[in-house]
Amino acid sequence: MKLPPFDIVSVDPSAEREHEQMGSKPKYWFRVDGKMWLFKRCRPGTGEDWAEKLAAEVAALLGLPHARVELAEDEGGRGSVCLDFAGGGDLIHGNELLWQMDSGYPREKIWRVSAHTVENVVHVLSSPSLEAPASTVQQLGMTAAQVFVGYLALDALIGNGDRHHENWGLLRFGDRVALAPTYDHASSLGRELRDEKRRASLVGHRVTSYAQRARSALYGSSSDSRPLSTHAAFWQASARVEGSRAAWVARVAGITPHALDQIIQRIPSGRISQEGRQFARRLMLENQSMLCKEPAAS
């Protein structure tokens, strides 16, 4: 059964707005019916809006706690909106957490932070007092570190190259601290490619090489000059967090081509080209295949 297209949220031009300082893209907060939403404008020549929406839908397929995302538009053009997921809590980003662990950590930098290693992140997230998101505990019975490994499985599946230290964090509610849901996935699914490049990749069977080139913002060692691939970040983290690898590989394997087709076809035709749909689908299937194979011994 063909499902209807996803809704597009129209931001009221009269809505009160508050500029968001964090990140490189234009964005602002606005309120609707007592709820706060973050509008993120899509940069020209990219599919950041539909990539963000599809990533959230894929996160749902995996059973991951994730920010709610909708396609949107304002008087300036296309974008996406993300519902405030803090729920009254304080969001503490990864850079602050790593700086608290090591006062020499370069918390002001975003890219090429080699101290942003899998080992350091897993160490922060393995604190006995840290809770997993409540819905995840109920559904999966996982620790915060195990859930975060699922975030890296999502990154590998969609080719998300933007898991830097401000794109993960914790939520503090008084004395309680829990892992925040996964958020900010616009740098995925080949959203930056032109259709001519997508066509050439699809015809020339070069989607596999594109998938293999996807880089995480996580490093294997602080002495490394290059970040890990999205797949290597998952494999290294899952090797450090007991009980996480088999669970997330099984969930990735359980996503069917039909399930992917169902969400991809719901992106309105004015938002994504046919080549964009085909490339996103093929990319996820290639990544799924790679994730479901044991990594080569190193």
The residues near 133 (Cβ < 8 Å, ≥ 6 apart) are 65, 147, 178, 179, 180, 181
DSSP state of 66: B
Instruction: Give the global pTM.
Output: 0.95
Q: Place 21 in a pLDDT band, splitting at 50, 70 and 90.
A: low
| Distance (Å) of CA 268 to CA 3, 28, 51, 82, 189 | 11, 24, 13, 18, 16
Domain 8-83, CATH among 3.40.50, 3.30.200, 3.30.1380, 2.60.40 = 3.30.200
Tens digits of per-residue pLDDT, 43-102? 999 999 999 999 999 999 999 999 999 999 999 899 999 999 998 899 999 999 999 999
DSSP H or E run through 83? strand 77-83
For the domain made up of 90-291, give the CATH fold: 1.10.1070
**What number is the average pLDDT over the span 221-225?**
97
What secondary structure does DSSP assign to 194-255, as a single string?
-HHHHHHHHHTT-HHHHHHH-B-S-BS-TT-SSPPBHHHHHHHHHHHSTT-HHHHHHHHHT-
CB count within 10 Å of CB 5 equals 14
For the chain, what is the largest distance between any 2 Cα atoms, rounded to a whole number of angstroms?
Answer: 58
Tens digits of per-residue pLDDT, 150-206? 999 999 999 999 999 999 999 999 999 999 999 999 999 999 999 999 999 998 889
**What's the pLDDT at 2?**
81
Contact in structure between 41 and 26 (CB atoms under 8 Å): yes
Q: Report the chain's mean pLDDT, rounded to a whole number.
A: 94
On the question of pLDDT at 226 being above 70, the answer is yes
Residue 80: phi and psi, rounded to 5, are -140, 160
Considering only 1-5, 51-55, 149-153, 236-240, which range has the smallest mean pLDDT? 1-5
**What's the pLDDT at 159?**
98
Q: Where are the domains of the chain?
A: 8-83, 90-291
On the question of pLDDT at 231 being above 70, the answer is yes
